Amino acid sequence: MVVSRRKKASRQRGKKTHGWGSKKKHRGSGNRGGRRHAGTGKRGDSKKPSFWKNKKYFGRHGFNRRPSMRKSYNPINVGDLDNSIETFIKSGAAEKKADGYEVDFTKTQFNKLLGKGDTSNKLIITVDSASTKAKDKIEKAGGKLNLLSEAEKDSEDKSDDSDNPSSN
């Protein structure tokens, strides 16, 4: 024989508080003044001493840069570049010269060169930015690294000099 039990909700019908004591209780976080650190403010005496040590508890601290100000990098390593130079030639981002290869990363998705791996080819590379290790490895192999950010800075400096002649 199967015993069936009534649900608790139906057994509580007619009872004002449904087993929670006073009518005011069982109201969620509002019953205890909120969740987590609620009630710890300047006038909240109950928990205040536990937060005196943490000077950054009240207020907002630090800053967040706007997403539009952040620059995202899509890097490639020197070793990966050396291994896939033929792919870059096929895509038109690189061309074979008499003594090495000339690679223009402005025609690819990559905008930063990192120094992992080695190269045996003489490479002349144009890229937005590069690490110092990558620059050293390219120059050690007899190549040259043209950074677009430095070229833009140099052109800005020259235009500033021509606009404001120094007076002696």
Instruction: Report domain extents, the chain.
Output: 75-161
For CA atoms 44, 48, 51, 52, the dihedral sign is positive
**pLDDT (0 to 100) of residue 2:** 81
Among candidate residues 131, 118, 42, the one with its CA nearest the CA of residue 81 = 118
What would be the CATH architecture of the domain defined by 75-161? Ribosomal Protein L15; Chain: K; domain 2 (3.100)
**pLDDT (0 to 100) of residue 168:** 47
**Could you tell me if 133 and 114 are in contact, meaning their C-beta atoms sit under 8 angstroms apart?**
yes
| Percent above pLDDT 90 for the chain | 5
Please state, in angstroms and as integers, the Cα–Cα distance from residue 52 to each residue in 32, 39, 55, 58, following that order: 22, 14, 7, 10
**pLDDT (0 to 100) of residue 65:** 79
**pLDDT (0 to 100) of residue 42:** 62
In whole angstroms, give the CA distance from residue 121 to residue 149.
24
- pLDDT tops 80 at residue 154: no
Residue 17's contacts (CB-CB under 8 Å, 6 or more residues apart) are: 23, 25, 26
**pLDDT (0 to 100) of residue 160:** 60
Q: What is the pTM of this model?
A: 0.51
Instruction: Give the least confident one: 29-33, 65-69, 99-103.
Output: 29-33
Instruction: Give the least confident one: 37-41, 44-48, 146-150.
Output: 44-48
Give the model confidence (pLDDT) of 100-128 as tens digits. 888 888 888 888 999 898 888 888 889 98
Q: Which residue has the higher pLDDT, 50 or 125?
A: 125
Query: Taking residues 19-36, what's their average pLDDT?
Result: 78
Give the model confidence (pLDDT) of 72-93 as tens digits. 888 999 989 888 888 888 988 8
The pLDDT confidence band at residue 30, using thresholds 50, 70 and 90, is confident
